[in-house]
Amino acid sequence: MTGSSVEASQKHMILNDLFKPQALSHLSRPRTFVKFSLLPPEIRLQIWNACMLQPSASRLISLILCSDRSTKTRHYRKKNGLGNIISSHSYYVRQDSVRSEWLDAIDQVNHESRNAYRQRYRVRFPISIKSADGDKFHIAYIGLNPETDILYLTSRPGSHGLSFIHCIHDIIAYDPRGIGVAHLAMGGCDHLSYLSRLHPSHLPLHAQEQINQWLSGSLQSFYTVIQMGITSRDIDMMLFPFRQSEHANDLWHCNRSLPIIANTTHYTRTTRDMRSIDKDLAYIAAPADPRESTQMWNQFRANFGKDKEELQLRYLMGLSEPSQTVTTRQDLCYFLEKSNERWEKIRANLKATGRHQALLDDDYWSQRTIPQVAGLWNLPADAFGTVPPLDAGFTDWNYKYVFDISHIRPELWVFHLVK
């Protein structure tokens, strides 16, 4: 770490420092205990479980759907090791978030550790892993626990909307209990526009039956992921000229509360974001009306006749910048420094044009003291207003994309940063 990086790391108050999971706080090289095999089996099982995350720990598994046009097998004919039919469709899956080498190692120590690992993460789903040289991919297996894991599905440009259907079908096929995905997250309009127009008759019969059964009971919650751009953090209202009014002084607001999405898997849930964020919640600049994605999902369910089934709908909101991946604490501090530099340029420009009075220095510097966090806000389904009905018209949507959600206090999810 360079001198400037150390200085940047020290001057930020990072909320993630307070959330260090016990099972991951000692990732030093494992020690050998030669008498381990002499311990009673139930004690050994407790030790293996202690090496993994606690049962209450949470994971957000980010998977990317990619097209594979080289696949030319017959669809829905092949069976996996469990004897279940898989799609054999022309897609493959990559894991976007950082894999847990610690958990992977437990799956590989011996037969006993493998059984303990697979009892907790019973779904072994094949994914594509990039090789060390970065040019080739090989197949590996990711362990999933449908009851606790949230599966966040995104896609590469050009991947077909049906890839989502085939992927969900196949994850269910690799689950001995036939659940597969109980908690699903999708961002923006990834495949949702296509799914909202998809009729069950367009699918192979086996896929129809599997998805229909999944929507009928296995799926328990759906999260619309709102990935905010950098301008949503430094809420530059020059992007929203129609908002300028006699209250312009209130609109030039420096938002420092938005959680920053980390490229990691594990996180800790807190009941409420206890930081001083009320003013920030009054000015949330979203890239679109978040309710649109939720409505598309409702339309997809309605196409299968499942829109009346009970399902928990939520929003996950965070800030991301494709060019600045956050995995470690150092990454987060670098992200914050770049954000501060950008805002200083904006302030200088405002001052040069005689509009600097729109941002009070007291307000700006008070915002700089808010602890920063790599995480997500978990928001209720009505955070942005009631989701419009399926036959909604033009006037049912908010096209200003600036929302006041100060009437709620979001739940905060804090990512576990890699050391």
**SS3 track for 166-205:** HHHHHHHHCCCCCCCCCEEEEECCCCHHHHHCCCHHHCCH
What's the Rg (C-alpha) of the chain? 23
Does residue 43 form part of some domain?
no
- pLDDT of residue 180 exceeding 50: yes
Beta bridge partners of 266: 59
Confidence band of 67 (pLDDT split at 50, 70, 90): confident
What does each C-alpha distance from 336 to 84, 187, 324 come to in angstroms?
Answer: 48, 23, 10
* Number of domains making up the chain: 1
Does residue 30 form part of some domain?
no
Residues 6 or more apart in contact with residue 399 via CB below 8 angstroms? 289
Characterise 148 by phi-psi region: left (phi > 0), alpha (psi -120 to 50), beta (else): alpha
User: Judging by beta carbons within 10 Å of its beta carbon (0-12, 13-18, 19+), is residue 83 exposed, middle or buried?
Assistant: exposed
What's the mean pLDDT in 359-384? 80
Q: Fill in the DSSP letter of residue 74.
A: P
- pLDDT of residue 315 exceeding 90: yes
Tell me if 289 sits within 8 A of 401, measured CB to CB.
Answer: yes
Neighbours of 214 (CB within 10 A): 22
- Higher model confidence: residue 135 or residue 317? 317
Tell me if 300 sits within 8 A of 196, measured CB to CB.
Answer: yes
Does residue 35 form part of some domain?
no
Does residue 25 form part of some domain?
no
Asked whether the CA dihedral 256, 259, 261, 266 is positive or negative, the reply is positive
What is the domain extent for residue 136? 11-18+57-415
Does residue 202 form part of some domain?
yes
Q: What is the pLDDT of residue 23?
A: 44
Q: Where are the beta strands (DSSP E) in 68-191?
A: 91-95, 123-130, 137-144, 150-155, 183-187
246-291 pLDDT, tens per residue? Answer: 444 445 667 788 999 998 888 999 989 999 888 889 888 888 889 9
Query: Which range, of 40-49, 236-245, 332-341, 402-411, averages the lowest pLDDT?
Result: 236-245
What's the mean pLDDT in 212-218? 95
Residues 297, 302, 307, CA angle at the centre, nearest 5°? 85
What does each C-alpha distance from 190 to 48, 164, 383 come to in angstroms?
Answer: 38, 9, 21
CA atoms within 13 A on the CB side of 157: 0
Mean pLDDT of the chain: 80
What's the mean pLDDT in 69-91? 80
- Which among 56, 209, 79 is positioned nearest to 145, based on CA atoms? 56
Does residue 300 form part of some domain?
yes
